[in-house]
Structure 1
Amino acid sequence: MRKNSNKIWIWIAALILSFSTLYGQKINQIAQIVGIRDNSLVGYGLVIGLNGTGDKSGSKFTMQSIANMLESVNVKLSANDIKSKNVAAVMVTASLPPFARQGDKLDILVSSIGDAKSINGGTLVMTPLTGVDGNIYALAQGNITLGESGGTLSGKILGGASVEREITYNLYNQESATLSLKSSDLQNAIKIQQSLNDVFRDAIAVAVDARTIKLKKPENLSMVEFLALVEEVEIDYSRKERIVIDEKSGTIVAGVGITIDPVVVTHGDITIKISDEMPDDPEAIKLEDGTMMSRAQGTISSTNGTKPTVSSVVKALQRMGATPRNVISILESMKKSGALNADIEVM
């Protein structure tokens, strides 16, 4: 029976490869299996070995924590008698990946919560990390490495926590599973349903809403084999256009093909006209992508008869002296007017 199962698995894998030439996105890129996810862990601890840059003696919770730590090694001392500046109270966070086993190592983030000047060069003493249920799942300890951002009040310890408790998930013996789309979309849910049913030649998938697809395991495959094949199936994924703007740095990320319909926008002392006609200004500037910009007329137009793209409009606005805040406001106004069909996300 197992031999026949292997043959069926090979046949399905070959069929998936043939479908790969027809579709654009793998299912594991746009959906996740419900229940198989990371779990957040958090703990309170102490960083020691600081060269006078730790919490001041006025931080009562830090001094009390030091007293409690010393008492655990049979040194009894009142918190009021502790004047050390070489210790800092910190919060420790980590993510416990699915199927993590005892002894596995986790990266942790250590962040000061007191009035320490720096935790650079410090050592985190053993800190229990708990989940939302209050159980201890890992123990953290180690030397802190500060990040590249130059901050001195938080840092990482790579492999700084060891898993002590496992989260059980009996995947192998499951008969059904659920896919959850990362973005709700009725069309994509139906496409996944149709693609999976075509690949496995059976009604193993049912889209129950815009985000959820119920799966039923075929008899001749284990759940692990089944889900491994499901994740590799590709579909013609419909993705909404999005513009991402980092207001602080002025960075704007947008798809190459996002266009803007003809519109006139006035923002402060900036007036811009998006047109599909060539400007009659002899001093119009030709940008790198062929878009023409007329400073005198405040017009941006494409030379090949197509609509100007977001990229060309942003470049033109920057040449006009627009600030990142101006660009954000103008793009948002274009979206509200219906001239720009894309979601805008400001970071």
Structure 2
Amino acid sequence: MSIRLLGLLALLLCLSPASAAPAADSIRIKDLGRMQGWRDNAIVGYGIVTGLAGTGDSSTNKTTRQALANVYSQFNLTVAPEQVQSRNVAVVLVTAALPTFSHEGDTLDVTVTSAGDARSLVGGSLLMTPLKAANGKVYALAQGPLSVGGYRYDANGNVVQKNHPTVGSVPGGATVEVGVDAQVLSAHQDVTFLLAEPDYTTATRIAEAINARMGSALARARDASGVTILVPEPQRADLTTYLTQIENVSVVPDRRAKVVINERTGTVVSGGDVRISKVAISHGDLKIAISTQNIASQPLFIGSAGPGVRTEIVSNTRVDVDEQNGPGYVGPGNNTVADLVQTLARMKTNTRDIISILRAVKAAGALHAELVVQ
């Protein structure tokens, strides 16, 4: 790990002792979660991609032959599935997300994935495919040319491939036929705000901030993940304006102390005010190298050698021990992870050693934060 990257890591994590506990900023409630009932709906369909240059499903795929025969029957063409031998078609699964408050005529992006043994979907076009939700109803129709971010070409046993050519997309390829609406207001004439990161303290602060803004006790923290807000009768006719006022109430969220470590990339991310107790750290490296050299020992005079004189193989073994003194550090009490990382960076400790040290500090019980290892 280069010194520049290590210095960048220290810059991201470190704060001066005077700014170890920075003033928290207020955040709008709408940035901390969502209203209950506000969700996307998954829709899926089964269709056919045509126009492939011989890279579609093989003739042994009975599903493709049957599907194409069904398409022909829609145009008054009677073709037996056994007679379909085209390699220019492929059966696919089409997926999309139907957002809240979708209306008829809105367009959606769809993802197309091969469901057979097609080699590539490059150049293909999706035939009209109905997209259904979990209740079995059709909510959108998808159709259009595919955009594939890869390719696959083969000739004479040679194959050249980039990315996944059996997955494509149709931007704006689906048209919403049946709109959906979100049922935000419950039967009890209240709405529930759901936190993206459940926390009792944050939920309580949100309820208090809403009550202070509205001037009455309308909100209460239901649990760590939800805040129930009563909608007064005059505001029920104009629920949009009322929820707009709720969403723009500012609050100071509480946060848990976390240190995130990614061992694959050597990345450490931590809040600047994550505390550690007084701890002593010593990190070193002991290297032992054992080498063996074989030498053939010959008699001094070959002609005068006796019956017991012969060539011998002599092995000379050498053991080298190299102990490098690693960084030593004794942290005072009431310190932070940022201070520790800054100190280790000044001692030219590489990032992976810092990760090992942080894990050891956590195991010793001196790191007062949740250690997340990715």
TM-score, scaled to structure 2: 0.68
Using a 3 Å threshold, how does the CA distance of structure 1 residues 200 and 319 change in structure 2: closer, same or farther?
Answer: same
Q: 2:324 is paired with a residue of what secondary structure?
A: coil
1:170-223 CA-to-partner distances (Å, cap 9, x unmatched) read 558983211111122111110011000000001110111111111111344321
Worse overlay, 44-53 or 254-263: 254-263
What displacement does 1:44 show?
1.2
Aligned equivalents of 1:182 and 1:152: distance in 2?
Answer: 35
Using a 3 Å threshold, how does the CA distance of structure 1 residues 328 and 127 change in structure 2: closer, same or farther?
Answer: farther
Worse overlay, 304-313 or 232-241: 304-313
- Paired residue type of 1:236: V
Which of structures 1 and 2 has the bigger CA Rg? 2
- Paired residue type of 2:173: G
What displacement does 1:161 show?
0.5
- 1:195-234 residue pairs with structure 2 within 5 A? 195-221=209-235, 222-234=238-250
1:48/1:124 contact within 8 Å kept: yes
What displacement does 1:314 show?
9.7
The residue number in structure 2 matching 1:297 is 325
Worse overlay, 147-156 or 105-114: 147-156
Worse overlay, 93-102 or 111-120: 111-120
What displacement does 1:168 show?
3.5
Using a 3 Å threshold, how does the CA distance of structure 1 residues 240 and 121 change in structure 2: closer, same or farther?
Answer: farther
The residue number in structure 2 matching 1:289 is none
Worse overlay, 298-307 or 148-157: 298-307
Aligned equivalents of 2:93 and 2:344: distance in 1?
Answer: 41
The residue number in structure 2 matching 1:252 is 267
Aligned equivalents of 1:225 and 1:28: distance in 2?
Answer: 14
The residue number in structure 2 matching 1:192 is 206
1:146/1:152 contact within 8 Å kept: yes
Aligned equivalents of 2:175 and 2:285: distance in 1?
Answer: 56
- 1:239-318 residue pairs with structure 2 within 5 A? 239-244=255-260, 250=265, 252=267, 254-257=269-272, 258=274, 262=279, 296-299=324-327, 301=329, 306-309=335-338
Matched, 1:342 2:370: yes
The total of aligned residue pairs comes to 298
Using a 3 Å threshold, how does the CA distance of structure 1 residues 191 and 49 change in structure 2: closer, same or farther?
Answer: same
Aligned equivalents of 1:314 and 1:127: distance in 2?
Answer: 59
TM-score, scaled to structure 1: 0.73
The residue number in structure 1 matching 2:174 is 161
Worse overlay, 140-149 or 62-71: 140-149
Worse overlay, 310-319 or 173-182: 310-319
The residue number in structure 2 matching 1:176 is 190
What displacement does 1:263 show?
6.2
2:282/2:326 contact within 8 Å kept: no
Worse overlay, 53-62 or 330-339: 330-339
Over aligned residues, Cα RMSD in angstroms?
Answer: 3.7
Q: 2:56 is paired with a residue of what secondary structure?
A: coil
Q: 1:197 is paired with a residue of what secondary structure?
A: helix
2:280/2:331 contact within 8 Å kept: no
1:171/1:223 contact within 8 Å kept: no
- Paired residue type of 1:127: T
- Paired residue type of 2:129: T
Gapped regions of structure 1 (runs ≥ 5): 1-20, 271-294
1:222-241 CA-to-partner distances (Å, cap 9, x unmatched) read 21111111111111111224
Q: 1:298 is paired with a residue of what secondary structure?
A: coil
Identity %: 33
Aligned equivalents of 1:166 and 1:73: distance in 2?
Answer: 30
Equivalent residue for 2:76, pick from 74, 77, 99: 74
Q: 2:201 is paired with a residue of what secondary structure?
A: helix
Worse overlay, 45-54 or 235-244: 235-244
Higher strand share: 2
Aligned equivalents of 2:337 and 2:183: distance in 1?
Answer: 53
Work out which structure has the larger RCO, using CA pairs closer than 8 Å and 6 or more positions apart in sequence.
2
Gapped regions of structure 2 (runs ≥ 5): 1-22, 151-161, 288-322
Aligned equivalents of 1:32 and 1:188: distance in 2?
Answer: 14
1:41/1:129 contact within 8 Å kept: yes
What displacement does 1:75 show?
1.8
Aligned equivalents of 2:135 and 2:80: distance in 1?
Answer: 32
Worse overlay, 111-120 or 173-182: 173-182
Aligned equivalents of 1:53 and 1:82: distance in 2?
Answer: 15
Worse overlay, 337-346 or 49-58: 337-346
1:171/1:224 contact within 8 Å kept: no
What displacement does 1:59 show?
2.1
- Paired residue type of 1:88: A
- Paired residue type of 1:82: V
The residue number in structure 1 matching 2:114 is 112
Aligned equivalents of 2:149 and 2:134: distance in 1?
Answer: 27
1:70-111 CA-to-partner distances (Å, cap 9, x unmatched) read 222222222222221111221111111111000001111111
Aligned equivalents of 1:147 and 1:26: distance in 2?
Answer: 38
Using a 3 Å threshold, how does the CA distance of structure 1 residues 203 and 259 change in structure 2: closer, same or farther?
Answer: closer
- Paired residue type of 2:167: S
